[in-house]
Amino acid sequence: MAQLQVELVAVEEKIWTGEAEMVVARTTDGELGVLPGHAPLLGQLAEPGQVRIKLAGGEQLAYDVNGGFLSVTSSGVTVLAESASPVTESSSR
C-alpha cells in the first residue's frame, strides 16, 4: 500500500516524522482524512483539535494540537501546530 510522508511540527520542535497510511485531522471545515494521492490543500486546524496518524500494521498515534495548519502536497502531509502533545488515556476520554 502507498504511504504518506508525514511531518508534525510545533513552533518549538519537530514532534514526529515518518511514513503513514492515513492522517486524520479536525479542521475548521470539519474532520478530514488524508490518504496517499489526496488532492493538494491547506486547512486551518480547529481549536482545540486532534491529529491522528495511522501507521502500517494498525498502530495509531494521536496528538492534541492547538492552532495551526494542515498542508497536503504531492510530497506528503505537514501539520504546523502552535503546540502539540501526545494524547494520553485520560485526555482521550
Neighbours of 39 (CB within 10 A): 7
Rounded to whole angstroms, the Cα distance separating 27 from 59 reads 23
Rounded to whole angstroms, the Cα distance separating 55 from 27 reads 21
Rounded to whole angstroms, the Cα distance separating 42 from 92 reads 26
**CB-count burial class (<10 Å; 0-12, 13-18, 19+) for 37:** exposed
Residue 90's pLDDT is what? 57
Which segments of the chain have a pLDDT < 50?
A: 92-93
Residue 86's pLDDT is what? 96
Rounded to whole angstroms, the Cα distance separating 43 from 92 reads 23
73-85 confidence digits (pLDDT tens):
999 999 999 999 9
Grid coordinates representing 63? 496528538
Structural domains for the chain: 4-86 (2.60.15.10)
